[in-house]
Amino acid sequence: MCSSDDALQPEGTLTLQLPATSRDTNIFGDIYGGWLSTQMVLAAETRAAQIAKGRIATVSIGSIDFMSPVLVGTLLSFYTQIVETGTSSIRIKIDVWGRCPDGSASRKITETETVQVAIDPDGRIRSVPNS
């Protein structure tokens, strides 16, 4: 299941890249959607922490529709785009792309949006610094 998606191209900043491994599979041998969702949030948190210049918390995650199964060995690339920055929150779009284990094709796997909120060391909401 490794066909190329030539019509689409990744958008945003490459924020996280890692291979899907056999320890991340479901009972059918495909990469478990929960593991992939976790990596998506990690990419969003990484980007938000850079913008917020400190600690953040995830407050919402949009729906995630998987376009195709992910095979073990697929190199996953997580691209993030800042959709909106509020006083204390950052809305981020995450696109996930996979390159087949043999390197032959790249395709979009899924996307979602998250909202991150800047918090202080005590866990209270704080303002996002101006860029």
- What backbone torsions phi and psi does residue 7 show, to the nearest 5 degrees? -70, -30
In the sheet that holds 13-19, the strands lie side by side as 13-19, 75-85, 89-99, 106-118, 56-61
**Residue 104's pLDDT is what?**
81
CATH 3.40.640.10 assigned to 13-118: no
pLDDT of the chain, 131 residues: tens digit per residue: 465 555 678 889 999 999 999 999 999 888 999 999 999 999 999 999 999 999 999 999 999 999 988 999 999 999 999 999 999 999 999 999 999 888 788 899 999 999 999 999 999 999 999 85
Listed by start position, the domains of the chain span 13-118
Give residue 81's pLDDT. Answer: 98
Judged by phi (left if over 0) then psi (alpha if -120 to 50, else beta), residue 29 lies in left
**CB hemisphere CA count around 126 (13 angstroms):** 18
**How far is 121 from 20, CA to CA, in rounded Å?**
33
pLDDT at residue 69, rounded to an integer = 84
